């Protein structure tokens, strides 16, 4: 017998075959909101709570604050979009900083995202053209330090500057991540596998930016690890215009020596031969300094394609013995459900 329970998600009321589909809430962007479904999840007391999002655009800025929530879309056509950027004025009179700009923020453990598009819709190109904004940082997805064990599968994550901010253990697979400036960044330990990393075209830009900007604590053995990924570019992005990344010493914190590693990745011709570059920071004495690739932990091994480059002081290769340590189990510290 079909279970005819009715599931409420905002204004949406749909009959759900709960046993067959196992959704606790279904959101139709035409009539409901993901925010309402997350309010339901908050009432579930931390038990696993599954939300299905139908195709369409949800213009919402949200934070997941309860654990063990799964948000799954019908596909990339299930779009969560918002346009906040760093430097804009908040309704309370304050100024938005990078960490508050995210379209979707994960702030609880055990959250899973699948088959979604998560987009920061800020007009980066228009702001650059008009001299507006401050750069401008505009995060699509932020995974905060308290979010431990975030799983992101088969999602499209769209932005330009600071697209994906990772501050805790995260496992991403089969995703498409788009950006230009430091667009995969943060101090979390992340295993990023089988993803397409796309550098975006910005008219008139001197360079096409930096892929990774790790701020990994020196005491933390692993940072941003890209495994069997594809580094591609939008039409118009020139050859040899994009850095693999640069180490971010956030706030001048001397305990941060960013780690990022590309393992067996295919790189298009937009990647610079030098690979990595420095990033500036203000030291404890207030003087402006540079954190160089040689001081940080930036490596690769087994790169293929026209963007693969020779070993150099700024483009260092792991040995076979060193790369053996870079497994999903090691990077993610063998969290429960790792094989799922």
Q: How confident is the model at residue 293 (pLDDT cuts 50, 70, 90)?
A: very high
**Above 80 in pLDDT, residue 35?**
yes
Looking at CATH, the fold of the domain delimited by 180-332 is given as: Pectate Lyase C-like (2.160.20)
Angle at 269 between CA 167 and CA 296, to 5 degrees: 35
Residues 58, 118: Cα–Cα separation, whole Å: 10
Q: Which residues of 301-313 are buried (b: 16+ CB within 10 A; e: fewer)?
A: bebeeebbbeeee
pLDDT of residue 161: 96
Alpha-carbon distance 154 to 231, whole Å?
16
123 vs 141: CA distance, rounded Å: 17
Distance CA 160, CA 185 (A): 13
CA atoms within 13 A on the CB side of 330: 12
pLDDT reported for residue 21: 66
Q: In residues, how long is the chain?
A: 340
**Residue 57, CA atoms < 13 Å, CB-side half-sphere:** 6
Average pLDDT value for residue range 290-299: 97
Distance CA 217, CA 184 (A): 16
Q: Give which of 68, 64, 97 is closest to 80, Cα–Cα.
A: 64
CA 245 distance to own-chain centroid: 14
Structure tokens at 164: 């994906």
Query: Of the residues 123, 162, 333, 334, which is catalytic?
Result: 162
pLDDT at position 242: 97
28 has catalytic annotation? no
Instruction: Check whether 19 has a pLDDT greater than 80.
Output: no
Segment 135-144, tens digit of pLDDT: 689 999 999 9
Q: What average pLDDT score do residues 179-195 get? A: 98
Question: In a 10 Å sphere around its CB, with 0-12 CB exposed, 13-18 middle and 19+ buried, how is residue 196 labelled?
Answer: middle
Q: Is the pLDDT of residue 119 over 70?
A: yes
d(CA 69, CA 89): 31
Across the range 308-321, mean pLDDT stands at 95
Catalytic residue of the set 182, 206, 334, 336:
182
pLDDT at 12 over 90: no
Query: What's the average model confidence in pLDDT over 191-199?
Result: 98
State the pLDDT at residue 338.
52
Q: Is residue 3 annotated as a catalytic residue, yes or no?
A: no
Q: Report the alpha-carbon distance of residue 28 to residue 41 in Å, rounded.
A: 17
| % of the chain at pLDDT higher than 70 | 91
In this prediction the pTM is: 0.92
* Helix spans in 200-278 (H): none
What was the pLDDT predicted at 13? 34
* Whether the Cβ atoms of residue 178 and residue 200 lie closer than 8 Å to each other: yes
Going by their DSSP bridges, the two strands 279-282 and 288-291 should be labelled as antiparallel
Closest by CA to 141, choosing from 188, 104, 194, is: 104
| Rounded-to-integer distance, Cα 105 and Cα 61, Å | 8
Label residue 9 by pLDDT band (50, 70, 90): very low
Q: Where do the structural domains in the chain lie, given as residue ranges?
A: 180-332
Pair 110, 67: CB distance under 8 Å: yes
């Amino acid at each position: 017998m079909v279970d005819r329970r009715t599931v409420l998600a905002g204004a949406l009321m749909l009959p759900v075959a709960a046993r067959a589909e196992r959704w606790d809430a279904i959101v139709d962007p035409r009539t409901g909101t993901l925010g309402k479904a997350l309010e339901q999840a908050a009432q579930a007391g931390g038990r696993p709570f599954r939300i299905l999002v139908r195709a369409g655009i949800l213009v919402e800025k949200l934070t997941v604050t309860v654990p063990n929530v799964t948000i799954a879309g019908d596909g990339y056509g299930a779009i969560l979009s918002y346009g906040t950027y760093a430097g804009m004025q908040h309704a309370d009179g304050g100024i938005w900083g990078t960490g508050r700009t995210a379209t979707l923020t994960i702030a609880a453990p055990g959250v899973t995202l699948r088959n979604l598009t998560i987009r920061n819709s800020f007009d980066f190109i228009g702001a650059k053209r008009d001299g507006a904004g401050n750069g401008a940082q505009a995060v699509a997805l932020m995974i905060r330090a308290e979010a431990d064990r975030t799983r992101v599968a088969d999602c499209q994550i769209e932005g330009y500057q600071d697209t994906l901010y990772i501050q805790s253990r995260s496992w991403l697979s089969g995703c498409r991540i788009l950006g230009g400036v430091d667009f995969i960044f943060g101090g979390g330990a992340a295993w990023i596998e089988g993803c397409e990393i796309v550098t975006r075209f910005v008219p008139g830009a001197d360079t096409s930016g930096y892929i990774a900007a790790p701020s990994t604590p020196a005491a933390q053995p692993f940072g941003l690890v890209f495994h069997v990924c594809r580094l591609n570019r939008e039409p118009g992005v020139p050859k040899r215009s994009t850095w693999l990344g640069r180490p971010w010493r956030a706030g001048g914190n001397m305990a941060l020596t960013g780690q990022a590693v590309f393992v067996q990745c295919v790189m298009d011709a937009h990647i610079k031969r030098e690979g990595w570059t420095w990033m500036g920071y203000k030291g404890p004495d207030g003087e402006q300094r540079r954190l160089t690739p040689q001081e940080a932990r930036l490596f690769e091994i087994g790169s293929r394609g026209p963007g693969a480059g020779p070993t150099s002081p700024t483009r260092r290769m792991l040995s076979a013995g060193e790369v053996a340590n870079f497994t999903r189990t090691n990077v993610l510290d063998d969290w429960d459900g790792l094989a799922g």
